[in-house]
Amino acid sequence: MSERGVILEQLRLKANPYSGKLISFCGLDGCGKTTLIKRLEVYLSERGQDVVLTKQPTNAVRKSEIFRTFMDCENNSAFDYLSLSLLAASDRVQHTNKVIAPVLETGKTIISDRYFYSCLANLRARGYKDAKWIYEVSEYLIKPDVAFFLDIDVETAVKRVRSRIEERDRYIDMPLQYALRDEYLEIASLNNGIVISTDQSEDDAFEKVLEALNGHF
């Protein structure tokens, strides 16, 4: 085994068997996901697509004490991140199979703010590079038809987060952000992800999104 732990593998996500399309957006907080997701929703809706927005992990995890502690507090020693990762992974399985799949079966388009790739990125970025179970879990999930990974330098991403009034005082683990960025880029390269730099105008970034979706609609 390498010093980095288990060598990063391609996730074993299953192909989408439904007529609907699944599009995911991942990246650092502040990378521009919300902006591009909203623009894409409007663009597709105006062209007759029935679009459903969703988010992972769901509020069942987001509002839990363990999640909020790791997101908002510098001292999270009372919890083990592995337990949060397992909780988030199970939440994604439930959400994908009981929410996403039924919607895709009806032919609708789903745009997901984060997906299972984020689970893997966070697990590895926080030092759990020996976790093999995550690849087994991925076998129960649907692979997005298009998976976007929005890339921006850490300093700019954090500046954007701090510009939000409700998050200007939020604790941000800076070393973790650098590690996450590296993991996202590696995951994208192994899983046919589309990397789009958001260190450009919003219009230019959105044009890249549309180019990647050409032929899917």
Secondary structure of the chain in the HEC alphabet?
A: CECCECCCCCCCCECCCCCCCEEEEEECCCCCHHHHHHHHHHHHHHCCCCEEEEECCCHHHHCCHHHHHHHHCCCCCCCCHHHHHHHHHHHHHHHHHHHHHHHHHCCCEEEEECCHHHHHHHHHHCCCCCCCHHHHHHCCCECCCEEEEEECCHHHHHHHHHCCHHHCCCCCCHHHHHHHHHHHHHHHHHCCCEEEECCCCHHHHHHHHHHHHCCCC
Cis peptide before 57 (omega within 30 of 0): yes
Residue 3 forms part of a structural domain: no
Residue 140 forms part of a structural domain: yes
pLDDT at position 152 is 97
Residue 2 forms part of a structural domain: no
Residue 15 forms part of a structural domain: no
pLDDT at position 4 is 52
Residue 160 forms part of a structural domain: yes
Residues in the chain where the model's pLDDT stays below 70: 1-6
pLDDT at position 2 is 41
Residue 1 forms part of a structural domain: no
pLDDT at position 25 is 98
Residue 135 forms part of a structural domain: yes
For residue 191, give the CATH number of its domain.
Answer: 3.40.50.300
pLDDT at position 170 is 78
pLDDT at position 17 is 97
pLDDT at position 70 is 78
Residue 33 forms part of a structural domain: yes
Q: Which domain holds residue 198?
A: 22-205
As for how many domains the chain has, the answer is 1
